[in-house]
Amino acid sequence: MTSWLLLAAVIAEAAPAQMPIRSVPALQSGRILVVPFETPANDGGSYWLGDAAAVLVADDVNARGLGAIPRRARTRAYDQLHLPSNTLLSEATVIKVGQIVGASEVVVGRVQVESGTLTLRARATVLSGGAISSPTLMLRSRLNERDASGMLGRYLMRHCNAMIGYVFPFRTNPEQVNHKQICITDAYESVRAADGTALGIIQDMCMPPREMVRALGPRGFRWAASLSANNIQTLLCIAEDEPQADNGVTLSARTDAFDLPVATVRHEYSAGDVRRRDALVRTARQVLRRAGGLVGKVRLIDSFSHAVGTARFATRPEDGALSPECRVWAFPNLFVVDGSFMPTSGGVNPSLTITANALRVAAHIRDDFAALATNTR
């Protein structure tokens, strides 16, 4: 019969003075489930605090070589029981979750806050909120006061994009495959000498379902486009946009429900950005016509899906908010690994670049903090 160990303990106390998190008592080796701790308000708004405490305790359990059950396994058990991720569990439900994940022991606890100040300390902190949220958080934390470059929150970039679609006299995607098979890079470097940037690329995009076209298609063409969706082929034109100091994220005088200053985002494309996008659209139009397209429509894309910049890295503190290892210069244990680090946007989707850089930074964190972790366990 499975034995259960319920540890009701205060794991963290938040006060103006530093209150270190106490390690869990020594446990027997096995599959140990650490569930989110109860929080002062026991509501969804403060759930993150209890979940963070559980993650820290699970890390400590793993450091002892005892094998804590991964958080993702706990999340799957929640889904199986149709439990909201931020729900407060009864002891019976905790046991049910433990049974699903095959736990031999369970750790529960409570977070107690005795004042209005919560202090969390870590050997290394990784920030990855995106090119809008990351600078907002750092500006709210007044990190800009220690930024020698003055560039934190500035140089926001988002590709100058357009989608062009043509109607063909045949079904363009009869297999209904979500494909991105073609990328035209022939003119990528064609304006480098004149503009100092890449031109960009043209990539294949499959047509979304007609219901989506009817809801989100170009105004005035939604109904017609949805009826002919099976015969439409689209190409996405991604033009590199110039880094401009005035484009960026600042804090406004307004505050949100938590009395935090609300971010203000400013971005305008330059004439060069628009010129490069229009050049790609002309090429894409020629490609679709020569492939048999009969009539086409261009839709300009106004979104922040490719937002980068706002905390660019550089080799000197005077030239960027981050070091080459993506550390905040004034806080060497704070790393930023989202698209904020990029000093230019390039003319392609930045997702793989951001991912590759995050893996590169992770190697630096591992190498720099491994010895410290070993010495302080």
Query: Which pLDDT tens digit goes with each residue over 60-85?
Result: 888 777 888 888 888 888 888 888 87
Q: What's the farthest any 2 CA atoms get from each other in the chain? A: 75
Mean pLDDT, range 204-224, rounded to an integer = 73
Q: What pTM was computed for the model?
A: 0.70
Calpha distance 79→143 (Å, rounded): 39
Q: Report residue 162 as tokens.
A: 């357009």
Calpha distance 335→361 (Å, rounded): 8
Mean pLDDT, range 269-278, rounded to an integer = 96
Pick the closest to residue 78 from 92, 105, 96 (CA basis): 96
Pick the closest to residue 138 from 301, 340, 303, 294 (CA basis): 340
Using an 8 Å Cβ cutoff, are 107 and 32 in contact?
A: yes
Question: Is pLDDT above 60 for 369?
Answer: yes
CA distances from 349 to 52, 111, 242 (A): 32, 42, 15
To the nearest whole number, what is the mean pLDDT of the chain?
Answer: 83
Query: Which pLDDT value is given to residue 115?
Result: 65
% residues pLDDT > 90 (the chain): 48
Question: Is pLDDT above 90 for 252?
Answer: yes
Phi, psi of 326 (to 5 degrees): 65, 30
Query: Which pLDDT value is given to residue 16?
Result: 34
The number of residues in the chain equals: 377
Residue 322: pLDDT band with limits 50, 70, 90: very high
- Better pLDDT: 206 or 234: 234
Q: Report residue 60 as tokens.
A: 């400590």
Query: Which pLDDT tens digit goes with each residue over 14-69?
Result: 333 333 434 334 444 458 888 888 876 655 556 778 888 888 888 888 877 788 88
